[in-house]
Each structure stands twice: as structure tokens, then as C-alpha cells.
Structure 1
Amino acid sequence: MAPIVHCVRHAQGYHNLAAANHSIPDPLLTPFGEQQCRELQENFPFHKTVDCIVASPIKRTIATALLAFQRDIEAKDLKVIALPEIQETSDLPCDTGSDVAEIAREFDGRPVDLTLVKEGWNSKQGKWAPTAKAIDARAREARRWLMQRPEKEIVVVTHGGSLHYLTEDWTGSQRYTEMLPGTGWANTEYRSYTFDPANPANASMVETEESRRRRGPHAEKPLGKEEKSNLENVTHKTWEAQGFQQENSAQEIAAEV
């Protein structure tokens, strides 16, 4: 049986404080972000059943996973598995990860598994390009990987932009403030998903009813197929204009001809 996936957006990083901070390379969490992690650890209701923790290899997501799920890691002897396919979508300095050796130095002695992170994962070229087509392909690859995991419940800590691709839910993606730049996900917000058995090739995820109730009345009604496609297309154009995503690369366009 495919696992339940609890998706989490990382805690506040220094790049979240102001748009000018987007120039900071691979920023760490702020003190307030660390406090958000402690609060998430206290309030997250699925600690007993989580048996796998996955994070984007970017420093703020790894740090969020280590802090917010410290008790699970220690009690169950888990490691945070770094999955490069769920890195953030743009090529801004704040959304570009560090080289593998630097990540290893930053989290030396901590329970972090970097086996899947290879040199070039942070190149923002080819497979890793900040284009809609490449990001969508990475998100699908990540979903398939998650769907095939043997664990029953998995925590995935990633980014506001990549969460829209991963979940294929684009509601809130037009929101733009300093704290929510083009995403409907707040820092340390979590939502729970199952896999749709009707679409195994795409490994589509469906938010659980419990998760939607937890989000309260502000949780928007799921969109129909056409509405969802229209919102996704509008978001792609908006993110391109805001610098959070690029148009398809010349190589991608050439491949389609």
C-alpha cells in the first residue's frame, strides 16, 4: 500500500524577511524560524506513525526537518533523506542549494542522508532547470519515488513553490506578500495526502479530508480539471514575471520541435 505523505513547508529563513534577502545564498533559518520548528514539533499530531523523513537538500529544509522532527529521529533512529527533486523552483541565490561537500560540512554529525544528492544537483540546468517543464518532471519523479517507499507515513519538508508542483494543487499560488511569495503555504504549514490509485503513472496525490478540515473554512474547494489547468497556466506566467520561474529553455523547446 502506498504511504500517507505529510507535506511541510520549511520554517522562516532569512530570505523570508525581505525581498532584498533573496540574494543570500542558501540561507539558514532565523531564530523565529527555529521557534516555529519547536512549535511544529509540539503540535504535529502524527509523530507516533511517521516512519520516514524526507527533505529538500537546501539548508533551511534540512534544518526544519532536524528541529521539528528531532524526537522522531532520535526515538526511531531515523535519518533525514535529502531528495534533490524537491528543491525550490527558482534560480535565485536563496533558492539555489549548496554543493554536496558544503551541505555535509553544515550538518556534520547530524542524521542526514545525502546519498541521493549528486554533484550538479544545484546547477539549475538540464533536469534541474527552473522551468515549468523541468520542475513538473522533477515533481512527478519525486511523487513516484515516494509512492514506492515501503514506509506507511512519510514527512516531506520542502518549499512553497515546489509544494504546488508536488501536490498539483495551485490554489493560493497567486498570493504575493513578503512571507508568502507566490505560494499558498505558510511557513511550517503541513497538509496530508494519499496517492490516487486511478493515476499511478503520474503518482497524483489527493489531500485527505482530515487535512482539509484541519485547515478550516479557508481551505478552498478542490478545483475541477479545467479550472486547475487554467490556474496552473496563469501561475506559470505570473512566476515567470516575478522571477520565481523561467520560460522553457531553448533545449526544451528544441526537443519539442
Structure 2
Amino acid sequence: MTIYIHLVRHAQGFHNLSAANHQLPDPDLTPLGEQQCATLRDAFPHHKSITYLVASPMRRTIYTCLLSFAPAAASGVKVIALPEVQEVSNLPCDTGSDPARLQSEFGPGGQVDLSLVKEGWNDKSVDTKWAPEMDRLDARAKAARVWLRELARNGVQESGGKGHVHIALVTHGGFLHFLTDDFDGLNAEMGTGWVNTELRTYQFVDPEGNDGEARLKETGDSWRRRRGSAVGLTETEQMEIRVALQSRLKEEFGGV
């Protein structure tokens, strides 16, 4: 059995339209963003094989997941809201809504499982694990990967080892670099190298669980689809980008 993790950056939100809109709290998708979801929905080839849907508890990521993977959601696959994959910064647009609001919008008995979203998940102050600091971002990226691997292994057990496990995860452009530990293509101005509703597919380096970091590797098909024969960054080049990103976090968001 093979485990596939389909990673997606959310569709365009109103905060993507201008720097001024970064002050919008937990913004909605734009009409173009909704169209981007429809395009991804029509292009994605594995709707019938989706085992789990997962999303950051931000409203734009939840709606992107519901719209882009509508066939799976309509068949009864709930979206699991996972706080560990929320966005990096502490700007209003990257700070989630209180659990009570999310419950009222997506509600018990609906298509979203909010059981992991607790009070304080949207507190990004300096003394919390959600603060925009490199060590904490690395820690929650690792926690998210380990959680995803356990979820995938649960899917393997439930299927009796037959077929494949497909997990679709919708998260944020900045956090995707930490989740994949790949900073190739990162644009300092945009804060990411992923475009809205971009899809890349990954597998675990060690799906059995012996790798404590639960590292991900992009599939060959996914890499060739977006990069052709290009060669990825060296370890030294990746580290140079991380150092530059650390300086940016410290300067813009108070991280260290």
C-alpha cells in the first residue's frame, strides 16, 4: 500500500489583494479564489480515492478544502481542522477565529471536524507555541508530519492494507515550506514559492515510523509536472534561505 499526501495552498483570499488587506481578520475567499477551487476540483484525479481531508482551521483553508475536494466531502469525508498547520505570521489575516465562531459557522454535525481546535489555538504571542519563531515553526511542522503519518497508518489499518491512502491537506504558502522542509522557490516579497491552489504530492520517506522527523519527499511525477528536469537546491542553498527567512521573521513579526 502506498501513502500519498496531496498538499495544497489555499485559494486567493481578500488579504492577497493588497498589503492593506493584511489587517483583515481571518478573511474570506475572493470570487477568483472560489473559481480557483473549481479549477482544482475539476483537475484533481483522485476524488474517489480520498481517505482523509485535512485543513488549517483558518476559514480560507477550510473553504478551499470543502470546495476543491467537494466530491469527497459530499461522500461523507469530513475535513479535519488541524491547528498545527495554521499560517506562520501573527498578522490579523494570518490569525484564526475563536473556536466558538468556527463552531457557529461550520458547526457540530457539519462537514468539518473541529475537535482539535481548542481555546488559544489562535494566540500567537511570544510565549506560545504558535509564535512566528523558527524553532516553534519547525516543531509544529514536525508535529504535523508525525500526526499525518499516524493518520495515514490508521487508514492503512482500516483498509486492511488494500489500495492506497490519499490525504489531501490544505494549508498556507508560508507554512508549506516548513512542512516540506523545502525552501526552493521562496519569494521573499510573497513569503512563499507556492501559488494559490497549487497542488504538490508527497510521500513519507519512512512510512513505518522509524524516522522521528516524519520527513516528506515530493513524488517524481509531482516534481516533473511543475519543474521538469530542473535540479533542486543543495542543502547549503536551503540553509541560506532559512537564515534569510529567520531575519525576516525577526524584523516583521518579532520572531527569533
TM-score by length of 1: 0.88
1:37-56 CA deviation, whole Å, 9 max, x = no partner? 11110011222322100000
Number of the residue aligned with 1:107:
106
Letter in 1 for 2:214: A
Helix, strand or coil: the match of 1:18?
coil
CA contact (8 A) 1:132 1:246 kept: no
Structure 1 segment 198-237 matched on structure 2, within 5 A? 200-217=211-228, 220-237=230-247
Cα distance change of structure 1 residues 157 and 52 upon mapping to structure 2, 3 Å threshold: same
1:64-111 CA deviation, whole Å, 9 max, x = no partner? 001111111112x11000000000000000000000010111223630
Specify every segment of 5 or more residues in structure 2 that has no aligned partner in the other structure, as ranges: 156-164
CA contact (8 A) 2:131 2:255 kept: no
Cα distance change of structure 1 residues 173 and 216 upon mapping to structure 2, 3 Å threshold: closer
Moved more, 113-122 or 223-232: 223-232
Helix, strand or coil: the match of 1:29?
coil
Number of the residue aligned with 1:117:
117
- Please report how far the alpha carbon of residue 239 of structure 1 lies from its aligned counterpart in structure 2 after TM superposition: 4.0
1:35 aligns with 2:48: no
Number of the residue aligned with 1:56:
56
Q: What is the rounded CA distance, in whole Å, between the counterparts of 1:240 and 1:20 in structure 2?
A: 21
Number of the residue aligned with 2:166:
153
Number of the residue aligned with 1:8:
8
- Please report how far the alpha carbon of residue 216 of structure 1 lies from its aligned counterpart in structure 2 after TM superposition: 3.7
Letter in 2 for 1:122: N
Number of the residue aligned with 1:170:
183
Helix, strand or coil: the match of 2:129?
helix
Number of the residue aligned with 1:188:
197
Letter in 2 for 1:119: E
1:173-210 CA deviation, whole Å, 9 max, x = no partner? 2342xxxx111000000100011129711111000000
1:135-164 CA deviation, whole Å, 9 max, x = no partner? 110110000000111231100100000000
- Please report how far the alpha carbon of residue 214 of structure 1 lies from its aligned counterpart in structure 2 after TM superposition: 1.3
CA contact (8 A) 1:14 1:29 kept: yes
Q: What is the rounded CA distance, in whole Å, between the counterparts of 1:93 and 1:175 in structure 2?
A: 19
CA contact (8 A) 2:14 2:30 kept: yes
Q: What is the rounded CA distance, in whole Å, between the counterparts of 1:143 and 1:4 in structure 2?
A: 13
Letter in 2 for 1:167: T
Helix, strand or coil: the match of 1:232?
helix
Q: What is the rounded CA distance, in whole Å, between the counterparts of 2:38 and 2:26 in structure 1?
A: 22
The two structures, once aligned, show a CA RMSD in angstroms of 1.7
CA contact (8 A) 2:4 2:166 kept: yes
Helix, strand or coil: the match of 2:47?
coil
Q: What is the rounded CA distance, in whole Å, between the counterparts of 1:211 and 1:246 in structure 2?
A: 35
1:247 aligns with 2:255: yes
CA contact (8 A) 2:133 2:249 kept: no
Helix, strand or coil: the match of 1:128?
coil
CA contact (8 A) 1:26 1:94 kept: yes
TM-score by length of 2: 0.89
